[in-house]
Structure 1
Amino acid sequence: MDRRPGLSVRLKLTLSYAGFLMVAGALLLAAIGYFLLDQGWLQTTEQGAWRATPGTAFVRGFAPMAVTVMAFLLVFGLVGGWLLAGRMLAPLDRITHATRTAAAGSLAHRIRLPGPQDEFRELADAFDAMLARLEAHVAEQRRFAANASHELRTPLAISKTLLDVARTDPGHDRDEIIDRLHAVNTRAIDLTEALLLLSRAEQRSFTRERVDLSLIAEEATETLLPLAEKRGVTLETSGDIAPATGSETLLLQLTMNLVHNAIIHNLPEGGTVRVTTGVRPGSVLLTVENTGGHLALDLVPTLTEPFRRGTDRVHTDHAGVGLGLAIVKTITEAHDGTLTLTPRSSGGIRVTVELPAPPP
C-alpha cells in the first residue's frame, strides 16, 4: 500500500520530549517570574543584594535570563529526546529486522530479545512463537506435499507398468491385469478422496448442526461389523447420549476411521474394540480402544502425521492410504476439540476425542 511519507517515530518522540520540556520550563519560569514580580524583588547590585525594583526593571533583568534558559532547554530536549527515543525504540529495530527476514523466506530467524519482561519483550516473544508455529506448519506442509506426491505417483507408476505388460505380452492373463488395475485405481481414488476430505476439514468449510456422538458411534460400528467379523474382532459399543455441534458427515468419517483402524490393527484372533461415549462438564467424549500389540511411547505421537503407518499396515489387505488418523486429527481440530492417543498397558491403544458441548 502506497502511503505519503511522514515523520519517523523517533523524530516524533524527540519533538514530544523537547516540547514537553519547553512547556514545563516555560511554566516554571513564568511561576518564578510572577512570584518575583509580585514581591517586587530583583537582583541588581554587583554585590548580589536584593532590593525592590519597579516592574519594568524586572522585565529587563529577568527576560534575557528566561530566554537563555529556554534556549538551553530546547537544545537539551532535542538532543536528550533523540538519544532517549533511540534507546527506547531499539527493540523495534530488531523486531522490524526479524519481520523483514521472515518475509524474505527465512523462518528460522528469532528475535530473542534480552532484558526484563516489558511490552517490547512480550511483543518479541509473541513474534518468536508465531515464527516457530509458522515454521513448523510450513515444514509439515512440505512433508505432506512430498508424501502426497509419492503416494499418488506409486499407483500411477504401477498402472503404467501393467499397461506396458499388457501391450508387450499379448499372451499374459488379461483378467489378472484388469483386476490389478482395478485395485490400483481404487487405491488412487481413495487417496484422492481422502486428500479432498482433509482439505475440506482444514478449511472448516462445513455446516454446523446438532449431532449425537452415540448415534454416530452406533452407525459406524454397524457399518464395519462385517469387517470385524471377518477378522474375528468383537465390537462393543456403550455410553451415554453425547450431544455436540458440528458436521455429521465429518464426525461419522472420524468415527469410521477410528473404528476401522482399531479393527485392522488388532490381535490376529480374539481381538476386541470398545467404542464408548460420555459427557463431561463443558465437553463430550468419544473413546475407541482396542487390543493389540504393545506400542512404543515415541511412536504414538507420530501416528497422526499424514502417511504415517505402523509396522504392519502396508502388508494388510486393508492398509488404507495413510491418512486415517491425520484426517481424525484435522476433523477434531476443525471442531475445536482435542485428540489424545494413549497406549494401553496390556497392548493396543486408546484414542479419545473430546469436543465442546453445545450451549443449552
Structure 2
Amino acid sequence: MGREPGLSVRLKLTLSYAGFLMVAGALLLAVVWVFLLRYVPEVINTPGPGAPGMPGMPGMAIPDRADLQRAFVPKAAVALAFLLVLGLAGGWFLAGSMLAPLTRITNATRLAADGSLAHRVQLEGRADEFRELADAFDTMLARLEAHDAEQRRFAANASHELRTPLAITQALLDVARTDPGRDTGELVERLHFVNSRAIDLTEALLLLSRANQRSFAREPVDLSLAAEEATETLLPLAEKHGVTLETGGEVATTTGSYVLLLQMTTNLVHNAIVHNLAGRGTVWVTTLVRPGAALLTVENTGEPLSQPVASTLTEPFQRGTGRVRADHAGVGLGLAIVKSIAQAHDGTLTLTPRAAGGLRVTVHLPAAAR
C-alpha cells in the first residue's frame, strides 16, 4: 500500500530529545532569572561623596536590572544554543542505538517477505521489550518455516496420490480402446474401484483443509456420544475383521464441531480396527475427564511398533510399514486428519506404542466451560 513519505522515527526521536532538553534548559534559566530578580531592584540611586550619613565615602556603582539583563541574556542564549546542539547530536546517537534492534527485525521481516524463512533475528542482551518482540518474531518464523515445509511436503504427496488413480484410469481406458473385445464388466468394475479411491482421497483432502482453516461453529460436544456413534457405525467392519470393540468412560464435554470431532473419533476407531490382529483383535475406546481437559483414548492390539515409527503416523500419507492391509489401505490421511482436527480444537494428539503390541492414541481437548 503506497503512502506518502514522512520523517523517520529516528529523526522524530532526535527532535523530541532536543526539544525536551531545550524546554528543560529554558525552564531552568527562567527559574534562575526569577531568583536573581528578587535581589536586584529596577533602579539603584547611589549617594555621592559627602552625603548625609556617609561622610567621605566615594560613589559606588551597584548593578540594577538593566545591567543584569545585559549580563545574563547573552550567556543564557549561548547556553540554550549549546543545549540545542547537544540535544540534536546526543538525541541522534541515542535514537540510533535504541532503534538498532528494530532495524534488525525490519530486515528479517523483509527477508521473510522475500521467501527466506530460515533467517532469525537472534537479538542479544537481557530481556526487554525489543528482545521480547525479536523472540516472538523468531518463534513465528520457525512456525512459518515448519508449516511451509509441511505444506510443500503435503502438496507433493497429495499430487502423487492423486496422480496414481488418474494414471490407472488412463491405462484402463487405453486398454479398452486398443482391445475392443476385452470384457467390459471387469473394466467397469476396476474403473469404479479406482474412481471411488480418488473420491475418498479428495474428500479427505477437503476435510483436512477445513480442519486446518478452523472454519466451523463451536458448540458443546460430548466425546462419549461421539465414541458411541463411531463404534456403532464401524461395528460391521469390526465383525468382519473379527475385532472386538469395547467402549467405556464418562461424559467428557468439550467445545467444537460435532461433525469434525465425530470424524476424528471415526478415523481413530477405523484405524484401530484395520491395523489389528485379524480374528483375535480388540479395540478399547475410552473417554475421561481431567482438570480442564476432556480425553479420548483409542487403544488396539496389533503388531509391535517402535516409538520412531509411531511418531511418523500422523504425517500425511504415512501408513506405517507392515501395518497396511490390502483391502483397507485407506488414503493415508486418517491420523493426519485426526491431528488437524485436534489442533483446530486447541488440543493435542499423543501416539504411544503398547508393550504387548498395537497402539494407544490419546486426544487431549480443552474441557467445556461449566
Q: TM-score under structure 1 normalisation?
A: 0.92
Judged with a 3 Å threshold, the aligned counterparts in structure 2 of structure 1 residues 314 and 166 are, in CA distance, closer, same or farther, namely farther
Match of 1:46 in 2: none
Offset, 1:314: 4.5
Instruction: Give the Cα separation in 2 of the matches to 1:55 and 1:188.
Output: 100
Q: Does 1:32 align with 2:51?
A: no
Instruction: Give the Cα separation in 2 of the matches to 1:97 and 1:202.
Output: 30
Deviations 1:162-197 (A, max 9, x none): 111222223433332222211111100110111111
Match of 2:149 in 1: 139
Report matched runs for 1:53-202 at 5 Å.
Answer: 53-202=63-212
Offset, 1:268: 3.6
Which consecutive aligned stretches of 4+ in structure 1 deviate over 4 angstroms post-superposition?
none
Match of 1:45 in 2: none
Moved more, 175-184 or 320-329: 175-184
- The residue type paired with residue 283 of structure 2 is V
Instruction: Give the Cα separation in 2 of the matches to 1:270 and 1:260.
Output: 16
Q: Does the 8 Å CA contact 2:275/2:325 hold for their aligned counterparts? A: no
- The residue type paired with residue 164 of structure 2 is T
Deviations 1:57-109 (A, max 9, x none): 11111111111111111111111111111111111111111111111111111
Moved more, 68-77 or 202-211: 202-211
Q: Does the 8 Å CA contact 1:166/1:172 hold for their aligned counterparts? A: yes
Q: Does the 8 Å CA contact 1:40/1:52 hold for their aligned counterparts? A: no
Match of 1:2 in 2: 2
Report matched runs for 1:214-233 at 5 Å.
Answer: 214-233=224-243
Partner SS, residue 161 of structure 1? helix
Instruction: Give the Cα separation in 2 of the matches to 1:65 and 1:209.
Output: 76
Structure 2: gaps spanning 5 or more residues: 42-60
Partner SS, residue 299 of structure 1? helix
Q: Does 1:349 align with 2:359?
A: yes
Offset, 1:313: 4.4
Structure 1: gaps spanning 5 or more residues: 42-50
- The residue type paired with residue 196 of structure 1 is L
Match of 2:19 in 1: 19
Report matched runs for 1:281-360 at 5 Å.
Answer: 281-360=291-370
Partner SS, residue 15 of structure 2? helix
Tell which structure's C-alpha radius of gyration is larger: 2
Partner SS, residue 216 of structure 2? coil
Report matched runs for 1:184-263 at 5 Å.
Answer: 184-263=194-273
Instruction: Give the Cα separation in 1 of the matches to 2:222 and 2:325.
Output: 35
- The residue type paired with residue 286 of structure 1 is L
Percentage identity across aligned positions? 73
CA RMSD in angstroms comes to 1.8
Match of 1:48 in 2: none
Instruction: Give the Cα separation in 1 of the matches to 2:254 and 2:122.
Output: 42
Q: How many residues align?
A: 351
Match of 1:47 in 2: none
In structure 1, which of residues 274, 277, 281 is the aligned counterpart of residue 284 of structure 2? Answer: 274
Q: Does the 8 Å CA contact 1:341/1:351 hold for their aligned counterparts? A: yes
Partner SS, residue 304 of structure 1? coil
